[in-house]
Amino acid sequence: MDYNKYFSSISKRLSPSLLRSMSKYLHIPEVISFAGAAPTPDTFPLDTLMTLAQRVKEKYAPDSFQYGPTCGVGLLRESIAKYLVSERGFKAQASGQIVITSGSQQALHLLGLLFVEEEDKIAVELPSYTGGLAAMAKLGGSLVGVAMDQEGLIPEDLERLCQKDNFKLLYTIPNFQNPTGICLSLKRRRQVLELASKYDFLIIEDDPYGELYYQGVSREIIQPIYALEAENQRVIYLSSFSKTILPGFRQAYLVAPNSVVTQLNLLKESSDLCGGIFDQYWLHEFLVEEDYPKHLQYLRQFYSAKARVMEDALRRIFTSVEISPLRGGMFFFFDLDTNLDLTRYLSQCIQEFKVAFMPGSVFYANQGGLGTVRVCFSNESDENLVLGVERLGKFFRKLKVI
């Protein structure tokens, strides 16, 4: 039976993820994968996992095994509010401004449902996170790319676009952006806020990597755009614990004005009623009892060491390619200066050379970036980082692009 005539227009706008389509190869043991953006299990706090699980059972049962509030467990929202003040530099009301979501992807999905209608203009970075792009595009939003350089999105280009069209939203990843690893400068963060007010659009600030900053980066540089807005009216802030604690728990959150949260909770209620309650109590205990800032410091040291290993290997193998030093996050992004569509050769790279990467073009809303490459260093051993870069070099030499 042909079900196509029954499918909604939204479902028909969706296309398979390139990474997901290659997943059958990525699980082959000899394949070194730089494609995904997963943290390494080496950093998971497994020693405390069962201890805290037992504590949650003893302190919070039966509530921890029941349905809970749509917006998330109150204790977790309170511990996040305290963390935001001490570590991210802004205040948010635990009740009314914070919503716990099942990963940042659910937050993006709900915000798309809340704001995006057919043909709404959405400004996005060129390039940007595919999950964010899909969350807006599937609802009929018209994605318009804003140019970037080594200081992040270029405010002058954003203003040029705003003078031509009315934008409802700007979707931005200001800290160690996926896929480029670029950090938006403090000056430009302020300029983006001014443009939002001048041209009347909202900012969705996605910040999963802000705590993964490395040597030489001050907290002032990674200050959220949300923290710079005195009235907190135009910015909706998203962050996640998937990169820093346990991705399988799918614990993330958003911070938004009360009226936005009220409407968003209605959408969330119709979507999942509530998130995983036991996991939320566990995360609250971890944040309160396990010295989260100390854990973050460990992660910064761990991942910065891995970044140096990959950077050294990239510079040694890709001598003709500009490799920018990484200040945080999990990605290197570089341009091979070719018009080859690298998505057509990814399967060959995986099967023949036993290494996977992400063609940068999949992150471009304007079908650009054909010769760009994203590699993620977070989930392979140091030995595999070096070996994988060497294999990539052999593959790209075969394609005659380096």
Taking CA atoms, 213 is separated from 149, 217, 218, 353, 361, in Å, by: 19, 6, 8, 32, 26
> What is the pLDDT at residue 17?
77
> What is the pLDDT at residue 348?
94
User: Cα separation of 287 and 121, whole Å?
Assistant: 38
Q: Has domain 4-44+294-398 been given CATH number 1.10.10.10?
A: no
> What is the pLDDT at residue 5?
86
> What is the pLDDT at residue 98?
98
The ranges of the chain with pLDDT < 70 are 19, 22-23, 25-26
User: Cα separation of 145 and 143, whole Å?
Assistant: 7
> What is the pLDDT at residue 219?
87
Output the six-digit token pair for 77.
């929202």
The predicted model scores a pTM of 0.95
Query: Domain residue spans in the chain?
Result: 4-44+294-398, 68-290
Please state which architecture CATH assigns to domain 68-290. 3-Layer(aba) Sandwich (3.40)
- By C-alpha distance, which of 140, 130, 131 is closest to 168? 140
Q: What is the pLDDT of residues 196-255, one digit of tens each?
A: 999 999 999 999 999 999 988 888 889 999 999 877 799 999 999 999 999 999 999 999
Q: What's the burial of 3, exposed, middle or buried (CB within 10 Å: 0-12/13-18/19+)? A: exposed
Output the six-digit token pair for 156.
């002058």
> What is the pLDDT at residue 26?
66
